[in-house]
Amino acid sequence: MALHRRTVSLVLFTAPLAGASAWAQQPANTLRIVVGYPAGATSDALTRVVAEQMAKTLQQPVIVENKVGAGGRIGNELVKAAPPDGSTLLMTPVATMSIFPHSYAGELRYDAFKDFAPVAHLSNFQLGLAVNTQVPAKTLAEYVALVKADATKYGFYASAAAGSLPHFFGVMFARSAGINLTHVPYKGTAPAMQALASGEIAAASTVVADIKGVVDAGKARVLAVAGEKRDPSVPDVPTFRELGYDLVAQPWYALFAPAGTPPAVIERLSKAAIAAVQDPATHKRLIDMHLEPTGYPPERLGKIMRDDYERWGPVIRASGFKPGQ
């Protein structure tokens, strides 16, 4: 897929507000939310659900624009260069803001902490370790034993991209378990899941929401999830902590604006986004998508972003990862 493929969807049109004073409180007639991932991806689906509700609250049109490429970095670059007037927002996961500054240090065309203003933390989601059902391991302990016995057969794991959070969670798990795992990056979630389902690769470190279809088809099983608590979509799957590993990874999706956007505009957009995920109908839709709605304000999002940046830095440096690997 071309890096600059552009997909624009109009989420909602609304009639102009009566009175010039009401419009004066709005940063632009149309709000654009940029997603650095393709239509149909979890981040895209989340954005469209939230955008629909935000349009109602803000009483202005909201469009979702997909700018695909470079693992989401193209979208960040576009929003960095957008006017800081509240007309453009970025929906992105933790990877582009807290992981890539380490894994792609020196290559990023944006500074996650200087070029963006936090707007709202919208949802958490779960990572999990899964194996193909041809792998004779029903538990995490059995999988570890298999890898120790034959790493050349069972010690390869997939992720959707090199330098991503699932990639580095696999590194962290391997170190904690004392096993040799070899990361195999694929060009996106779909090919990684196809490889797992077909038996091309034994295991995958992946987003639980992305693997549910493969699991439901009987092609893979999730051995453990990386959250603080179990994932309601796979309630019988234990967390790594339950299994004796002090491993927690909490990925998230959030909204950001270009740096320099006025605080009053940030506040207005933040309140609309938080109200969207807290709306009962929207909340249920996100739960059905295997997401955990949150709705945290800018200050809390900024702290989460910084904490994750500091937490994952040592893991990434210790992995020896270099772009292009």
Query: Residues 55, 135: one domain?
Result: no
Query: Residues 263, 212: one domain?
Result: no
Helix (H, G, I), strand (E, B) or coil at 311: helix
In this structure, is residue 117 part of a structural domain?
yes
Q: Are strands 6-12 and 252-258 parallel, antiparallel or unpaired?
A: unpaired
In this structure, is residue 243 part of a structural domain?
no
Query: Residues 54, 94: one domain?
Result: yes
In this structure, is residue 244 part of a structural domain?
no
pLDDT in tens, 86-129: 999 999 999 999 999 999 988 899 999 999 999 999 999 999 99
Query: Residues 136, 91: one domain?
Result: no
Total of domains in the chain: 2
Residue with tokens 């302990």: 141
In this structure, is residue 232 part of a structural domain?
no
Query: Residues 147, 198: one domain?
Result: yes
Q: Which of 17-31, 114-128, 304-318 has the lowest mean pLDDT?
A: 17-31
Query: Residues 120, 263: one domain?
Result: yes
Q: Positive or negative CA dihedral for 17, 15, 120, 6?
A: negative
pLDDT in tens, 187-231: 888 899 999 999 999 999 999 988 888 999 999 999 999 998 998
Q: Are strands 292-296 and 116-124 parallel, antiparallel or unpaired?
A: antiparallel
* Residues spanned by the domain of 162: 127-225
Query: Residues 265, 203: one domain?
Result: no
Query: Residues 70, 81: one domain?
Result: yes
The arithmetic mean of pLDDT across residues 136-146, rounded, is 98
Q: Residue 204: which CATH number?
A: 3.40.190.10
Q: Residue 77: which CATH number?
A: 3.40.190.150
Q: How far apart are CA 60 and CA 321, in angstroms?
A: 44
Does residue 55 have a pLDDT over 70?
yes
pLDDT for res 1:
37
The arithmetic mean of pLDDT across residues 154-161, rounded, is 93
pLDDT for res 16:
37
pLDDT for res 28:
57
Domain boundary among 225, 244, 265: 225
Query: Residues 109, 51: one domain?
Result: yes
Which pair of structure tokens corresponds to residue 249? 């990874």
Q: Which of 104-108, 166-170, 223-227, 297-301 has the lowest mean pLDDT?
A: 104-108
CA nearest neighbour of 296 among 99, 123, 172, 141: 123
Please indicate whether residue 40 or residue 198 has the higher confidence score (pLDDT).
198
Query: Residues 141, 112: one domain?
Result: no
Query: Residues 92, 167: one domain?
Result: no
Q: Could you give the percent of the chain with pLDDT greater than 70?
A: 91
Residue with tokens 């991503």: 164
In this structure, is residue 247 part of a structural domain?
no
Q: How confident is the model at residue 320 (pLDDT cuts 50, 70, 90)?
A: confident
Domain boundary among 225, 260, 287: 225
HEC readout, the chain: CCCCCEEEEEEECCCCCCCHHHHHCCCCCCEEEEECCCCCCHHHHHHHHHHHHHHHHHCCCEEEEEECCHHHHHHHHHHHCCCCCCCEEEEEEHHHHHHHHHHCCCCCCCCCCCCEEEEEEEEECCEEEEEECCCCCCCHHHHHHHHHHCHHHHCEEEECCCCCHHHHHHHHHHHHHCCCCEEEECCCHHHHHHHHHHCCCCEEEEEHHHHHHHHHCCCEEEEEECCCCCCCCCCCCCECCCCCCCCCCCCEEEEEEECCCCHHHHHHHHHHHHHHHHCHHHHHHHHHCCCEEEEECHHHHHHHHHHHHHHHHHHHHHHCCCCCC
Q: How confident is the model at residue 232 (pLDDT cuts 50, 70, 90)?
A: confident
Domain boundary among 208, 225, 242: 225
In this structure, is residue 324 part of a structural domain?
no
pLDDT for res 199:
95
In this structure, is residue 112 part of a structural domain?
yes
Query: Residues 219, 256: one domain?
Result: no
Q: How confident is the model at residue 325 (pLDDT cuts 50, 70, 90)?
A: low
Q: DSSP readout, 113-175?
A: TTSEEEEEEEEE--EEEEEETTSS-SSHHHHHHHHHH-HHHH-EEEESSTTSHHHHHHHHHHH
In this structure, is residue 325 part of a structural domain?
no
Q: What is the mean pLDDT of the chain?
A: 89
pLDDT for res 19:
33
